[in-house]
Amino acid sequence: KRVAILISGRGSNMSALIDAARAPNFPAEIVVVISNRPDAAGLARASEAGIATKVIDHKPFGKDRAAFEAVLKSELAAQRVDLICLAGFMRLFTREFVEAWDGRMLNIHPSLLPSFPGLDPHGQAIRAGVKLTGATVHFVIPEMDSGPIIAQQAVPVEDDDTSDTLAARVLAAEHQLYPQALKLVAEDRVRIVDGCTRVS
Ligand code: GRF
């Protein structure tokens, strides 16, 4: 399977996916990394890893998401992309775009969804006093941080955690989880049944 990774920033999950995909029997190849921000640090990391990169700056498109997506769409077609992995990609898509990639677009969120969607999930977890949080890889649907859950990993919350210490612990779990989830999807082992996944 040919995979595009979409980023907006640091790209540590992107790097984890690139590294995993280098293994000889990995069922997916990262063919392009696309950023909506020209200054995303992940772009340099992707180039160093020998992966094609592309910047599609959303700013010139203003509120016209469909126009931004038209450019994105042509890049995905040019690279013959089968699967999209969102990895710290901070833009929402139109319903049309999401539906066109139904069951073929993955996202990672640093909480055990459906708990703590949206911004500052680690702060949300600490304020809620949960003892476990974690990471979730899910298929993307039009509603943010929702959609059929592919894989999750739990991470303990320590009494003295700050958002930053918790984020670092969860991030290490994310780097394990995302490649595992992509592998399952790329091997066609994940079916969606009634909005949930069944893994064979
Ligand atoms: C990760 O915590 C990811 O779960 C969230 O944004 C962060 C991106 O980090 N969606 P990175 O760019 O992968 O380092």
Question: In this predicted structure, what is the pLDDT of residue 76?
Answer: 98
C-alpha of residue 175 to centroid of ligand 1, in Å: 10
Nearest CA to ligand 1 atom 2: 110
What count of other Cβ atoms lies within 10 Å of the Cβ of residue 145?
18
Quote ipTM for the complex. Answer: 0.97
Kindly report the length of the chain: 200
pTM score, whole prediction: 0.97
Does residue 196 fall inside a structural domain? Answer: no
118-164, pLDDT tens digit by residue? Answer: 999 999 999 999 999 999 999 999 999 999 999 999 999 999 999 99
Give residue ranges with CB within 6 A of ligand 1.
7, 9-14, 87-88, 108-110, 171, 174
Does residue 58 fall inside a structural domain? Answer: yes
C-alpha of residue 191 to centroid of ligand 1, in Å: 25
Does residue 199 fall inside a structural domain? Answer: no
What is d(CA 123, CA 70) in angstroms, rounded to the nearest whole number? Answer: 35
Q: Report CA 141 to chain centroid distance, whole Å.
A: 13
Does residue 200 fall inside a structural domain? Answer: no
C-alpha of residue 36 to centroid of ligand 1, in Å: 15
Nearest CA to ligand 1 atom 8: 88
Look up 109 and say whether it is catalytic. yes
Does residue 195 fall inside a structural domain? Answer: no
173-186 b/e (C-beta count within 10 Å ≥ 16 → b): bbbebbbebbbbbb
Strands 190-193 and 196-199: antiparallel
Reported as a pLDDT band with limits 50, 70 and 90, residue 96 is very high
Is position 13 annotated in a ligand binding site? yes
Nearest ligand 1 atom to alpha carbon 108 = 4
Does residue 147 fall inside a structural domain? Answer: yes
Is position 107 annotated in a ligand binding site? yes
43-67, pLDDT tens digit by residue? Answer: 999 999 999 999 999 999 999 999 9
Does residue 138 fall inside a structural domain? Answer: yes
Task: Identify residue 150 by its one-letter amino acid code.
Answer: I
Reported as a pLDDT band with limits 50, 70 and 90, residue 177 is very high
Supply the DSSP string of 15-82, one letter for each residue. Answer: HHHHHHHTSTT-S-EEEEEEESSTT-HHHHHHHHTT-EEEE--SGGGTT-HHHHHHHHHHHHHHTT--
Query: Considering only CA atoms, which of 104, 102, 108, 109 is closest in space to residue 186?
Result: 104
Sign of CA dihedral 118, 120, 124, 126: positive
Q: For the domain that residue 89 is a member of, what is the CATH number?
A: 3.40.50.170
Number of domains in the chain: 1
Does residue 84 fall inside a structural domain? Answer: yes
Whole domain around residue 32: which residue ranges? 2-190
